[in-house]
């Protein structure tokens, strides 16, 4: 039996570029530079706690707390450096923004500046590193405003505040048992697996589609007391299983790594909820709009799924700040639409399964009527 032909990431991007005969190749070159950064990060992650592994040299200089107010690990710092150093030189970028940097990153002289913007979360789920759970990198490409391109000026925060529907490409790398790259350039979603012998990302999942229906959901149940009524209603109905209003049993998952959660859903369907809640009134959500929510939403929509704030499509949200947080719901289309419908209906949900903790529990029978 002849060996199956597998395309490399480079070959895939060349095929995609043929849809745009006038393309210069800068876009492809930028994506290949981002993929190279992901390969370097995968190598560092694979060494783990071994002495002398790549990234070990930055351990002593790691910042203690990043702009998000979160503890930085040495690999957070190393991963951020991989992205900036491997993409700044090619002349494709006008600037970058990272979850780990407070201000936009300017392309240093003498490097030429280009027409694209790169935003990224260099190491998503890094709190899982210590327990050897899957982590990843998330990135997205935007077009720089024309005035930036024409004037060659430094980028500002405002240049990055573009709704997710304006993304030109988005992807993530998954550092698990195998290293994978999931990518969309606006023509569906393709999955690539890193061949350690060749050092190349090979096309292994050419047309990823998210099933419209599912029996699996992912949410951090420890936040249940802070959920808004529509979310509480949805989860309660799933937990009620076959005997409840949904008429079928659901499984619940929670990995606490956005990339791992997104990958599971792209591979087999499901729905993920990290909704807005009342835990911290100053934060309308936990996930970052530019670095996490928008790229994942782009991938989900390109794969036939849906992504939402719970109330409105995620890709239509106008960003207001570089590190803006937001609630995120994504996955199988029918489930996300159901959650949106529950928010639109805004019913007064009373949890009869836990009467002692329900509002006006002594009158639960009256309220249930």
Query: Percent of the chain, pLDDT > 70?
Result: 87
- Is residue 265 in some structural domain? yes
- Domain CATH number, residue 21: 3.30.540.10
Residues, the chain, total? 369
Domain termination site, one of 183, 205, 227: 205
Q: What is the pLDDT of residue 353?
A: 42
Residue 56 has pLDDT above 50, yes or no: no
**C-alpha 92: how far from chain center:** 23
Residue 57 has pLDDT above 70, yes or no: no
Residue 354 has pLDDT above 50, yes or no: no
Same domain, 142 and 26: yes
Q: What is the pLDDT of residue 23?
A: 83
Q: What is the pLDDT of residue 280?
A: 86
Q: What is the pLDDT of residue 69?
A: 63
Place of tokens 């719901």: 329
Tell me which of 54 and 175 has the higher pLDDT.
175
Can you point out the beta strands (E) in 275-352? 287-288, 306-308, 325-326, 328-331
- The model's pLDDT over 107-146, given as tens digits with 9 standing for 90+, comes to 999 999 999 999 999 999 888 888 888 999 999 999 999 9
* Domain count of the fold of the chain: 2
Residue 55 has pLDDT above 80, yes or no: no
- In the chain, how long is the greatest CA-to-CA distance? 73
Give the lowest-confidence range in 212-226, 302-316, 352-366.
352-366
Across 329-345, average pLDDT = 98
Q: Is there a contact between 182 and 341 (Cβ–Cβ < 8 Å)?
A: no
Q: Is there a contact between 170 and 140 (Cβ–Cβ < 8 Å)?
A: yes
User: Which tokens hold the place of 256?
Assistant: 């606490």
- Is residue 210 in some structural domain? no
Same domain, 25 and 173: yes
- The model's pLDDT over 274-309, given as tens digits with 9 standing for 90+, comes to 999 998 888 889 999 999 999 999 999 999 999 999
Same domain, 194 and 295: no
Residue 72 has pLDDT above 80, yes or no: no
Cis peptide before 110 (omega within 30 of 0): yes
Same domain, 22 and 144: yes
Same domain, 242 and 176: no
Residue 135: domain span: 9-205
């Amino acid at each position: 039996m002849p060996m199956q032909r597998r395309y490399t990431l480079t070959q895939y991007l060349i095929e995609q570029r043929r849809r745009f005969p006038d393309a210069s190749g800068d876009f492809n070159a930028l994506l290949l530079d981002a993929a190279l950064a992901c390969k370097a990060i995968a190598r560092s992650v694979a060494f783990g706690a071994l002495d002398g592994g790549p990234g070990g040299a930055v351990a002593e200089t790691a910042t203690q707390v990043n702009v998000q107010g979160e503890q930085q690990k040495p690999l957070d710092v190393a991963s951020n450096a991989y992205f900036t150093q491997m993409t700044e030189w090619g002349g494709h970028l006008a600037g970058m923004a990272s979850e780990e940097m407070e201000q936009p990153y300017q392309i240093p002289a003498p490097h030429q500046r280009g027409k694209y913007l790169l935003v990224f979360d260099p190491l998503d789920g890094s709190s899982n590193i210590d327990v050897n759970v899957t982590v990843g990198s998330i990135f997205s490409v935007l077009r720089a405003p024309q005035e930036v391109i024409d004037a060659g000026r430094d980028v500002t925060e405002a240049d990055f505040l573009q709704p997710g529907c304006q993304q030109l490409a988005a992807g993530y790398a998954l550092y698990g048992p195998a290293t994978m790259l999931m990518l969309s350039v606006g023509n569906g979603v393709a999955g690539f697996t890193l061949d350690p012998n060749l050092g190349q990302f090979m096309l292994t999942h050419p047309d990823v589609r998210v099933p419209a229906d599912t029996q699996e959901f992912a949410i951090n149940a420890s936040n249940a007391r802070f959920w808004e009524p529509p979310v509480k209603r949805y989860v309660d109905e799933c937990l009620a299983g076959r005997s409840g209003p949904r008429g079928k049993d659901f499984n619940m998952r929670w990995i606490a790594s956005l990339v791992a959660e997104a990958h599971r859903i792209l591979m087999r369907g499901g729905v993920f909820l990290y909704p807005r809640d009342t835990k911290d009134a100053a934060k309308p959500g936990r996930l970052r709009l530019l670095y996490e929510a928008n790229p994942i939403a782009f991938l989900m929509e390109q794969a036939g799924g849906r992504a939402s704030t719970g109330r409105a499509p995620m890709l239509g949200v106008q960003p207001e700040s570089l590190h803006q947080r937001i609630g995120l719901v994504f996955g199988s289309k029918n489930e996300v639409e159901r959650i949106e419908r529950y928010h639109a209906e805004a019913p007064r949900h009373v949890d009869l399964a836990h009467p002692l903790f329900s509002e006006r529990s002594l009158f639960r029978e009256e309220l249930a009527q």
